[in-house]
Structure 1
Amino acid sequence: MSRVSKPFRSSQRPALALAGLLGTSGVLHFARPKFFDGMVPKQLPGSRRQWTQLSGIAELAVAAAIVTPRTRRLGGLTAALLFVGVFPANVKMALDAERKQKSARERLAAWVRLPIQWPLVLWALKVRDSA
């Protein structure tokens, strides 16, 4: 089998995996919006649900950009910016878990999300650079 006839090269796997992660998260914004609504700061204009839906659309659009070879470079950069942009929401979620005295498991999950954002940013930049 020639290299051209293979549907995906192994060098595309990190990009496709990142697109899968973003796509799944984007779908979850619509399938389980209440979870995401709680992360939206009250200070933002409009409804929390509107922000949840907009961020879900953004994640789906970035996933599509990463899957498409012609737009993968821009998609990788946009994904990195998206991960940085949602960091404050993750901080809010961790602080809310403490303030609302959630279970130890929920508090741990909320705090673990914070350091995970930075490897996601690096992954997205690596996808951009390898495009």
Structure 2
Amino acid sequence: MSLRWSPKATHTVSAIGLGALLLASAAKHFRTPAFYYPVVPDYLCRRDEPGSRPNGPLAVMSREEWVASSGLLEVAAAVGLLVPATRKVAADATTAMFTAFLAGHIDALRRAYGPKGTPAERRIHTVRLPLQIPLILWSWSLRK
């Protein structure tokens, strides 16, 4: 008996793989949210201290709320990828989400190489930013 691996099976396994990765990442958002804090740009974060000036028109949530929201988005993306009927729409949304996350990774890298950055932050963010590209391409490939 020969085993035949179809393109559809490959596509399904790929969607399951990305869905599992997104669920693991979402769980980490809630277990250790501080891991994601550096990737949330300051211009998106509301300042909650009394008498502080807002960061700008995009500063509608705190850093903690942004991390929790992105964790929830990852759960929704994972579920969408795991359901064949919603996979194409979820793949589009996941691609857009990973592309939007690039801004945070670029900002974190910029800060890591700034005057307050540490060697550890430089290493982490130098590796973290390029990892977004395969994630974007992977989610884009699931649009078929």
The bucket for the TM-score relative to the shorter chain is: 0.7 to 0.9
| Deviation sequence 1:55-86 (CA, Å, 0-9, x none) | 10001100010011111111111110011010
Q: 113-122 or 48-57, which moves further after superposition?
A: 113-122
Distance (whole Å) between structure 2 residues aligned to residue 115 and residue 126 of structure 1: 18
By percentage of residues, which structure has more helix?
1
CA spacing shift, 1:110–1:11, aligned 2, 3 Å: same
In structure 2, how many angstroms separate the alpha carbons of the residues matched to 1:73 and 1:101? 40
Contact 2:41/2:108 (<8 A) preserved: no
1:119 paired with 2:130, answer no
Which whole-Å CA distance do the structure 2 matches of 1:117 and 1:65 have between them? Answer: 20
Question: 2:50 aligns to what?
Answer: none
TM normalised by structure 2 equals: 0.76
- Show the counterpart of 1:83: 98
What is the aligned partner in structure 2 of residue 63 from structure 1? 78
Q: Is 1:51 aligned to 2:66, yes or no?
A: yes
8 Å Cα contact 2:80/2:90 also seen in 1: yes
1:117: Cα distance to partner? 1.6
Taking structure 1 as the reference length, the TM-score comes to: 0.83
Unaligned ranges ≥5, structure 1: 1-7
Q: Structure 2 matches for 1:1-131, cutoff 5 A?
A: 9-43=9-43, 44-99=59-114, 100-103=116-119, 105-129=120-144
Unaligned runs of 5+ in 2: 1-7, 44-58
1:103-122 deviation line (CA, Å, top 9, x unaligned): 2x541231122222222111
Aligned residues: percent identity? 31
Aligned-partner Cα distance in 2 for 1:120–1:23: 14
The number of residues matched between the two structures is 123
Offset at 1:15? 0.8
